[in-house]
A and B are shown apart, each in its own frame.
Chain A
Amino acid sequence: AQKITQTQPGMFVQEKEAVTLDCTYDTSDPSYGLFWYKQPSSGEMIFLIYQGSYDQQNATEGRYSLNFQKARKSANLVISASQLGDSAMYFCAMAGSARQLTFGSGTQLTVLP
C-alpha cells in the first residue's frame, strides 16, 4: 500500500520569498514516481513537477523544484520567488507499479502581498 503525508494544512509566504511544502511517502514498490499538482480555487488540477525514484538529480521546472531525499522518503516542493497567483492548494501524489495516483491531504498556500 502507498501512503502520502502532507503535514502542513496551511502555509503563508510573503510575495517574492521562497517556500517549501513538505511531503513524505511510504511504499513497498522499488520503482515509483512522485508528483506535485496545484489546485486553484477554480478546481482544476495542474501538473507541476515529477520526480522518479531512480532519478539522480532533483527535478526542476521553472520556479518549482523538488527536494528529493530518498532515504528520508521525502519529496518536498520548493517554490521560489512566490507570486500572488501561486495561492492555491498543493497536492503531493505518488504512482507505483499499479499506475494509480495516491494523493496527500494537500497544503493550502497563501501568498501575502
Chain B
Amino acid sequence: SAVISQKPSRDICQRGTSLTIQCQVDSQVTMMFWYRQQPGQSLTLIATANQGSEATYESGFVIDKFPISRPNLTFSTLTVSNMSPEDSSIYLCSVEPGTGPRTDTQYFGPGTRLTVL
C-alpha cells in the first residue's frame, strides 16, 4: 500500500481563520479523497481531488468553504476556510493506489485533528 503523510497532524485555530492541510503520497495515484470525521461520528466524504481540474464536491460541501488543490499525482491540499467551532473534526485524506485487493481499495493518511476555538 502507499505511504501517506499529512501535515499538520493537529492544530488549534481561532474562529474566522483558515487552515491548509497537506497530503503527500510516496507514489503517483489517480484518485485522492478528503474526508471529515466530526467528534464521535463516522467519516463523511468532502470531495474527490482531481489532478489538473476542479475537485468534485459532495452534497453539503462547497468550494468556497473547502477549496482543494491537486497540482500533481502525489500531492493535494484541503483548506478549511473561515472556521467555526463546528469545523472541529479529524480531516483525512485517502488514496486509491490501485494495488490493493480491489483496485478501488482506499488507504488513509494519519489524519489532521483540528480544534477551532
Residue in A37, A43, A47, A91 whose beta carbon sits within 8 Å of that of B100 in the complex: A47
- What string of 1s and 0s marks CB contacts (under 8 Å) between B1-37 and chain A? 1000000000000000000000000000001010001
For chain B, the count of residues having a C-beta within 8 Å of the partner chain is: 26
Q: Let me know if A47 and B42 touch, CB within 8 A.
A: no
Q: Let me know if B106 and A101 touch, CB within 8 A.
A: yes
Q: Let me know if A103 and B31 touch, CB within 8 A.
A: no
Given A100-B45, A104-B42, CB of A47 within 8 Å of CB of B1: yes
Chain A residues near B75 (CB, 8 Å)? none
Chain A residues near B52 (CB, 8 Å)? none
* Cα distance A103–B90 in the bound complex, in angstroms: 15
> Is B105 in contact with chain A by the CB < 8 A criterion?
yes
Give A contacts to B, CB under 8 Å.
33, 35, 37, 42-47, 50, 52, 59, 91, 95, 99-101, 103-106
Q: List 30 A-B contacts (CB under 8 A).
A: A33-B102, A33-B104, A33-B105, A35-B105, A43-B37, A43-B90, A43-B92, A43-B113, A44-B110, A45-B43, A45-B92, A45-B108, A47-B1, A47-B106, A47-B107, A47-B108, A50-B101, A50-B102, A50-B105, A52-B102, A91-B42, A91-B43, A95-B102, A99-B104, A100-B33, A100-B45, A103-B42, A103-B43, A104-B42, A106-B42
